[in-house]
Amino acid sequence: MEKHMELGVYSFPSRFPRLAELYRATAKQAGHSGAGIKVSVGTLGLIAPAKGEAVERYDPGWRNIQILAIERRGWPGPDRKFSEQQVQPPFAYYVGDPVDVARRIVDLHQKIGRMRHFFQMDLGGLPQEQFLKSIELLATEVKPRVDRLMSRL
SS (H, E, C) 113-149: CCEEEEEECCCCCCCHHHHHHHHHHHHHHHHHHHHHH
- DSSP H or E run through 95: strand 94-96
Is the per-residue pLDDT at 142 higher than 70? Answer: yes
CA dihedral (67, 65, 84, 138) in degrees, to 10, reads: 180
143 pLDDT exceeds 70?
yes
**∠ at Cα 23 (19, 25), nearest 5°?**
115
**Which pLDDT tens digit goes with each residue over 100-120?**
999 999 999 998 887 789 999
User: How far is residue 87's CA from residue 89's CA, in Å, rounded to a whole number?
Assistant: 7
* Residue-range domains of the chain with CATH: 3-151 (3.20.20.30)
If pLDDT is split at 50, 70 and 90, which confidence band does 11 have?
A: low
Exposure string for 112-137, b = 16+ CB within 10 A, e = fewer? beebebebebbbeebeeebeebbeeb
* Res 10: pLDDT: 52
Model confidence at 82: pLDDT above 50: yes
pTM (2 d.p.)? 0.81
